[in-house]
């Protein structure tokens, strides 16, 4: 009941004129497609947006089917594709998919981190519907680790952003489970009734079965078996006909337990067997534990102790298998985390390289401007500039030149010195030791040229003044 909603909520797809259609339309059009069809869509897609929605849909499908490695790979493909497009919406979708993969790996920190990135992305583009969806999936992460307060906190946030038609019933189901786990059965019943909004299976038999099952479970927990039984029957009828196997297996186990409590052991055994037979198609450890435990209890209720012991041992074996699977998930989680870290490091190095390239270009421009300014002042025929101004300008040029050299050689020095601060400091000091004497020589040469030029300018100005005075007529009258 956790990952199937992801299939319906994460996935979005596209057919036809992709750019003209909103994501919600694409999501509806890809609903219900099997994995092989989605894989074919992804392979055939040439438009990045079309490929992205197919990948996002596949991520949810793989998560539901327990194909952890495929789920991780699909999420990584989505992130790689989104980063090439630099589209905010696709980036948010990609991080949402990464969060789903981490949820499947039971990595709370990884899931929360990427769900938060997705939420920030949706917030920037003003997509309140997907902000609500992200809060709901974050609540599921908290629910998986038994943090009811965290689950309720994020569900309240999801409600504040508005629960769309596609997630309202499932959100109410989460709230009903939270209150049932707390023992607050009145509140659990309240939210279960809000979830039970579908009067017929329609195009969403899984949702219908899920809503009926939460009503059945709440009433059973309240000791209202006569009320719970019709809900179990409706849910199981739809789950059986639509082959929504996790609902069929879980519902059969719950109904068998109710029947045992009512003393109807034979009926309980029939339903427990029906649920167990469905596990031939879905060999997920969690579902196997439910079905084998229910079958063991049903055999015990019928006095068939040998069979009860057999299936009890099978249930324990599946619990051990679940532990092994969790250990394997932890290993996959480490590999997935490392791959993401490598991608982030590579992206950071590329950004640093681009930043250094821009700084070098700015340094070249500044050096050219300062140098041209100095030489224009030195070689100008009319400008008179003091040696102090030249000294200040040359000092600025020296600092710019030093920084320019630092930008050029820093990556090579970093590799040569293994980024040792002491060695880098010594190398920079050596470069400065070479530049400063050169700067003094240049400054001395430029100052001498400037003094000579200033003297020439002043002499020329004095000569012109004398010539102008001599050229004036003598206005003094003879007496």
pLDDT in tens, 227-271: 999 999 998 898 888 777 788 888 888 999 999 999 999 999 999
Half-sphere exposure (Cβ direction) of 368: Cα atoms closer than 13 Å: 6
Helices (H), 68-184: 68-85, 88-104, 108-125, 128-144, 148-161, 168-182
What is the model's pLDDT at position 186? 92
Q: Are 317 and 324 in contact (CB under 8 A)?
A: no
Rounded distance, CA 262 to CA 267, Å?
A: 10
Q: Indicate the DSSP class of residue 281.
A: T
Rounded distance, CA 419 to CA 412, Å?
A: 10
Mean pLDDT (whole number) for 25-51: 78
Q: Which residues contact 335 (CB under 8 A, 6 or more apart)?
A: none
Q: Are 391 and 443 in contact (CB under 8 A)?
A: yes
What sign results for the dihedral spanned by CA atoms 217, 218, 222, 227? negative
What is the greatest pairwise CA distance in the chain?
A: 156
Rounded distance, CA 382 to CA 387, Å?
A: 16
CATH superfamily of 4-340: Tetratricopeptide repeat domain (1.25.40.10)
What is the model's pLDDT at position 1? 41
**Confidence label for 110 from pLDDT (cuts 50, 70 and 90):** confident
Q: 4 versus 356: which is more confidently predicted?
A: 356
Rounded distance, CA 12 to CA 220, Å?
A: 36
Among 345, 351, 343, 346, CA closest to 77 = 343
User: Range(s) for CATH 1.25.40.10 in the chain?
Assistant: 4-340
What is the model's pLDDT at position 226? 92
pLDDT tens string 410-466: 667 776 777 677 777 777 778 777 767 776 776 666 666 666 666 666 677 677 777
pLDDT tens string 157-191: 998 888 876 678 888 888 998 898 888 999 999 99
Start-to-end Cα distance in the chain: 126
pTM of the model: 0.60
């Amino acid at each position: 009941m956790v990952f199937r909603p992801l299939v319906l909520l994460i996935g979005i797809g596209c057919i036809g004129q992709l750019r003209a259609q909103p994501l919600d339309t694409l999501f509806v059009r890809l609903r219900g497609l099997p994995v092989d069809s989605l894989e074919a869509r992804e392979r055939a897609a040439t438009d990045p947006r079309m490929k992205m929605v197919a990948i996002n849909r596949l991520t949810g499908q793989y998560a539901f089917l327990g194909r952890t490695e495929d789920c991780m790979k699909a999420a990584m493909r989505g992130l790689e594709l989104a980063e090439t497009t630099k589209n905010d919406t696709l980036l948010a979708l990609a991080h949402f998919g990464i969060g789903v993969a981490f949820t499947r790996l039971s990595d709370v920190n990884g899931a929360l981190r990427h769900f938060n990135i997705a939420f920030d992305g949706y917030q920037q583009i003003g997509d309140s519907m997907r902000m609500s969806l992200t809060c709901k999936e974050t609540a599921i992460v908290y629910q998986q680790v038994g943090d009811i307060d965290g689950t309720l906190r994020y569900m309240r946030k999801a409600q504040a952003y508005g629960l769309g038609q596609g997630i309202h019933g499932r959100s109410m189901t989460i709230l009903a489970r939270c209150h049932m786990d707390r023992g607050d059965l009145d509140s659990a019943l309240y939210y279960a009734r809000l979830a039970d909004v579908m009067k017929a299976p329609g195009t969403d038999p899984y949702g219908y079965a899920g809503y009926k099952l939460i009503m059945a479970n709440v009433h059973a927990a309240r000791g209202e078996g006569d009320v719970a039984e019709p809900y179990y029957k409706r849910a199981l009828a739809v789950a059986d006909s639509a082959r929504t196997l996790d609902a069929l297996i879980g519902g059969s186990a719950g109904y068998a337990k109710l029947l045992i409590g009512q003393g109807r052991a034979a009926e309980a055994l029939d339903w427990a067997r029906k649920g167990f037979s469905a596990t031939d198609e879905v060999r997920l450890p969690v579902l196997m534990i439910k079905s084998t435990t229910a079958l063991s209890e049903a055999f015990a209720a019928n006095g068939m102790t040998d069979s009860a012991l057999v299936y009890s041992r099978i249930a324990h074996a599946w619990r051990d298998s679940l532990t092994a699977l969790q250990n394997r998930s932890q290993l996959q989680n480490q590999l997935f985390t490392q791959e993401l870290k490598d991608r982030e490091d590579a992206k950071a190095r590329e950004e640093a390289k681009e930043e250094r390239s821009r700084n070098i270009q700015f340094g070249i421009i500044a050096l050219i401007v300062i140098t041209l300014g100095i030489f224009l002042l030195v070689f100008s025929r009319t400008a008179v500039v003091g040696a102090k101004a030249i000294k200040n300008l040359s000092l600025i040029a020296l600092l710019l030149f030093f920084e320019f050299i630092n930008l050029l050689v820093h990556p090579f020095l970093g590799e040569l010195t293994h980024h040792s601060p002491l060695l880098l400091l010594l190398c920079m000091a050596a470069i400065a030791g070479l530049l400063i004497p050169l700067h003094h020589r240049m400054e001395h040469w430029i100052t001498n040229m400037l003094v000579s030029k200033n003297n020439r300018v002043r002499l020329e100005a004095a000569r012109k003044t004398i010539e102008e005075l001599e050229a004036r007529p003598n206005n003094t009258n003879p007496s």
